[in-house]
């Protein structure tokens, strides 16, 4: 590594998306020596626009991240490294040892903002259309599909509810069933009652140019017409480092945290989509802010006089259950 770093950092932030950069911003404002390690795997980088950010609606993911990184330059205590943390362990006296691209890094605190990875449909043309007229998040991109016909691809019990959410915007919603494990008669009756069309067949390819989608072609050659595609398969929490540290995880593999974004491991905070809750950029930024402030103030130490502010709570604020 070429970063000019102190022997022991105050904080290591893993993940340079909205949550991680927000945490690093506040650690910088508290003048805590901080290293942000970013592998560049932000899930919304394919999106044409990021929506719903107060005062910045819309923007692009690249603009948002670029401005956030540029903003970190005013904080001399914060360094940004493009790379990967392969190992992260707690060692003596609560200190954390990380291996960053083969180099050892030591820190008193850790903020995990490693996010999730989406499973995507395996159909021709997907990557050309992804982020333009193919999306994974109704809340993020449903408004852009207003008054259009939406096609749903996916699997799992959540798919009918996922499709119904698009009714807030779409003129029509169609589910292609081959990828959804099909539906029983009761499910089909509910979908029919909501005006959601069910089409049986195997999705094979997207038809039309990016931004001018015509629909989805089935394996039998039939064209299911639609203006946009939304998909819901699975998303997998990038929790390998959390598992190395022994953080408590929920049933979906996300890191359990308290109101201060503190995990079950002393000194380890988590923010963004790797924690439970709505997976939206504005919320990730807010969680990153909470994690950064809590992490920074946990390093404050003791008050020096009766008139001094109350010192920060201890690093372990987590209550199981």
Q: Is there a cis peptide before residue 58, judged by omega within 30 degrees of 0?
A: yes
Q: Give the pLDDT band of residue 309 (cuts 50, 70, 90).
A: very low
The pLDDT assigned to 181 comes to 56
Residues in contact with 305: Cβ distance below 8 Å, sequence separation at least 6, in sequence order:
none
Tens of pLDDT along 189-246?
A: 889 999 999 998 999 999 999 999 999 999 999 999 999 999 999 889 999 999 999 9
% of the chain with per-residue pLDDT over 70:
92
Q: What is the mean pLDDT of the chain?
A: 91
- Find the Cα–Cα–Cα–Cα dihedral 26, 275, 8, 89, rounded to 10°: 180
Q: Is 8 a residue whose pLDDT tops 90?
A: yes
Instruction: Give the integer Cα–Cα distance in Å for 142 and 61.
Output: 17
Q: Is 307 a residue whose pLDDT tops 70?
A: no
Q: Is 320 a residue whose pLDDT tops 80?
A: no
For 286, phi then psi, to 5°, come to -65, -45
Q: Is 70 a residue whose pLDDT tops 60?
A: yes
The CATH architecture to which 9-117+235-297 belongs is 3-Layer(bba) Sandwich (3.50)
Residue extents of the structural domains in the chain: 9-117+235-297, 120-232
Q: Give the pLDDT band of residue 5 (cuts 50, 70, 90).
A: confident
More confident residue, 137 or 183: 137
* 310 CB-side CA count, 13 A: 3
Lowest mean pLDDT among 48-52, 100-104, 148-152: 48-52
Mean pLDDT of 109-134: 96
Instruction: Give the integer Cα–Cα distance in Å for 157 and 159.
Output: 6
Q: What's the CATH number for 120-232? A: 3.50.50.60
């Amino acid at each position: 590594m070429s970063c000019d770093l102190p022997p022991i950092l105050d904080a290591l932030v893993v993940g340079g998306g909205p949550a991680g950069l927000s945490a690093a911003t506040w650690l910088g404002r508290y003048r805590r020596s901080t290293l942000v390690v970013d592998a560049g795997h932000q899930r919304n980088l394919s999106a044409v626009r990021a929506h719903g950010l107060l005062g910045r609606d819309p923007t692009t993911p690249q603009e948002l991240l670029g401005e956030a990184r540029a903003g970190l330059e005013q904080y001399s205590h914060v360094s940004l490294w493009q790379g990967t943390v392969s190992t992260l362990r707690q060692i003596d006296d609560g200190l954390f040892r990380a291996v960053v691209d083969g180099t050892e890094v030591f820190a008193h605190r850790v903020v995990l903002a490693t996010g999730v990875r989406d499973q995507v449909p395996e159909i021709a043309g997907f990557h050309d259309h992804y982020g333009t007229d193919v999306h994974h998040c109704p809340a993020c991109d449903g408004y852009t599909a207003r008054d259009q016909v939406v096609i749903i691809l996916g699997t799992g019990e959540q798919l009918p509810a996922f499709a119904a959410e698009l009714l807030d915007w779409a003129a029509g919603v169609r589910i292609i069933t081959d990828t959804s494990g099909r539906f029983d008669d009761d499910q089909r009756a509910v979908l029919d009652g909501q005006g959601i069309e069910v089409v049986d067949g195997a999705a094979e390819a997207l038809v039309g140019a990016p931004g001018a989608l015509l629909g989805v072609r089935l394996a039998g050659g039939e064209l299911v017409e639609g203006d946009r595609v939304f998909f819901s398969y699975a998303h997998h929490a990038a929790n390998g480092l959390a598992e190395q540290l022994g953080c408590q995880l929920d049933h979906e593999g996300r890191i359990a945290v308290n109101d201060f974004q503190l995990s079950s491991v002393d000194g380890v905070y988590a923010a963004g989509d790797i924690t439970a809750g709505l997976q939206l950029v504005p919320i990730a930024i807010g969680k990153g802010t909470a994690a950064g402030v809590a992490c920074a103030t946990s390093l404050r130490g003791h008050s020096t006089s009766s008139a001094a502010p109350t010192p920060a709570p201890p690093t372990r604020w987590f209550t199981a259950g």
